[in-house]
Structure 1
């Protein structure tokens, strides 16, 4: 009986230490900065990725930024690898994994930026090159993806900016086979360093983008 009481006493405290999240790592707090991936019921409907600035927004008019619309086949080509990569990061931080579903899918603000980089790259890419783009994206460090998001979002980060500036640059950089080989070589050289640093990455920390 004494042991049972002790266990009952410890359990609530242990649970209190686990951060409650929604979707892919979004803190369950009041109006956090995050992204949403809207997947329509129609199998031919486009998938929309939007950024919700939350309490950081200057006004209600700028609280939501629609970042990209993806044709369903393009989304289908990237969703599984993105889900796997995101869940690996979440699990490493002791957060619950998630899965894409019809409707609204909340995504942590940093993971959302990384997703936008890949979505911008493939939005007008030849279908045959998308697997190459996914491999290149996976080879990038999170910090590199955040930087690419920041550079792209400054001038061409809206839903109507497809085919412009940095959006075109991302398409060529991630979809080029030679670039894939280059990134693969670098990834192999730095794999041990990334493995050592992955657990120390602050998923909800400040980013430079």
Structure 2
């Protein structure tokens, strides 16, 4: 009996040792990794800043940090809970510990950070009543679709001063317009016919896989 307990304890220790140590929302606890930071001020009216930290990938010290977006506190409050839930579900699927938003610096995995920027860019100038629609549409996107949207937006309008320009405006309309959610209906109907549509999207890539 004692040997069985020792063996079980050993296996449990091994399992814990195999789980990668992470910070915040899935950021590897390594030297200067590429990740994002969400800075939440103590003031209840202070704006929330999202910045990309390139880490060892930076070509120079001047380009090591890219400030991506500033969100009014009310807009951040409107998205934070659903974003946390979605991110933690993804982390749990990879046996990584969950994260939680807190005042101060919040580290976010580089891919999750890109996805967060897409939603933040969409809601930064959006009417408050449309934000829940934008969140639902964002949740319906596949991760690959969010990464593609980040890449397209970041190339030309990915800085703090680019609100209301180009792709930023496109994201606002694509995610915030109620009509956009109608794109989910065809997938739901196909699912009723027996097809596997457990990962609904807004059909940005049709039925292609990436």
Map 1:5-44; keep pairs closer than 5 Å: 5-44=6-45
Partner of 1:98: 99
Q: Which runs of 5+ in 1 are unaligned?
A: 196-207
Partner of 1:37, secondary structure, is strand
Range moving further from structure 2, 144-153 or 87-96: 87-96
Partner of 1:3: 4
Q: What is the TM-score when the length of structure 1 is the normalising length? A: 0.88
Partner of 1:163: 164
Q: What is the TM-score when the length of structure 2 is the normalising length? A: 0.87
Map 1:68-83; keep pairs closer than 5 Å: 68-83=69-84
Aligned 8 A contact 1:136 1:184 in 2: no
CA RMSD of aligned residues (A): 1.8
Partner of 1:114: 115
- Aligned length in residues: 196
Partner of 1:160, secondary structure, is helix
Partner of 1:87, secondary structure, is helix
Distance 1:137 1:9 in 2: 42
Q: Which runs of 5+ in 2 are unaligned?
A: 200-209
Residue 46 of structure 1 and its aligned partner are, at CA, apart by: 0.1
Residue 187 of structure 1 and its aligned partner are, at CA, apart by: 6.2
Partner of 2:50: 49
